[in-house]
Amino acid sequence: MSGGLRYEYRWQDGEDYKRPTKLPALKYMNLLMDWIESLINNEDIFPTRVGVPFPKNFQQVCKKIVSRLFRVFVHVYIHHFDSICSMGAEAHINTCYKHYYYFITEFHLIDNSELQPLKEIDRERYAIKRAMDKFTFRLYLSPRRPFPFHSVNVFMCIGKLRDYFHLMFIQNNVKWLQQHHRLGS
């Protein structure tokens, strides 16, 4: 999947694609959504029962997920933004990206160097930044005007990851408070 002239994203999942493999964007995104779904549904990585601890590699898994989701934003902004604007859906994609960006920066889930492709785009397209600052949300997912990629899936993944991080944050703080302030005694 291409991220412009300077960036190319190759798929590797360790199972079907053992080495980084160049794929068309649609296949890359479909594999990505399937891969994320399999991780999120894995109880060993994303426990759903109270009291079950998160695995030690939980943050690494989440960082890998959000870095790969970022690649979708890069591809969409670089190769399809004109189409999105012609549909009148730029506010939707900009809002999705803004929520995504705030989430990954709040939890330090992605290295700043990985954000570089869209930083370059922001310099070239001031309109994107201006539209993001308006923070309007118009949803264009009617049957007559389908959105060109799995935006709902991306939004749901980000929401679910946010929930897990908040749960992990609360669990860690309760343990810390119990250890240091002897709550309940």
Instruction: Dump pLDDT digits (tens) for 32-86.
Output: 999 999 999 999 999 988 888 989 999 899 999 999 999 998 888 888 888 888 8
Burial 79-95 (b: 16+ CB within 10 A, else e): eebeebeebebbbbbbb
Cβ-Cβ contacts under 8 Å for 53 (sequence gap 6 or more): 47
Which one is predicted more confidently, 171 or 113?
113
Does the annotation list 150 as a binding residue?
no
Query: What is the model's pTM?
Result: 0.65
Instruction: Dump pLDDT digits (tens) for 113-145.
Output: 888 888 766 555 445 445 444 433 333 333 444
Confidence band of 169 (pLDDT split at 50, 70, 90)? low
| Whether 154 contacts 72, CB under 8 Å | yes
Does the annotation list 75 as a binding residue?
yes
Name the most confidently modeled range: 69-73, 104-108, 170-174. 69-73
Query: Which class would CATH give 25-174?
Result: mainly alpha
The domains of the chain are located at 25-174
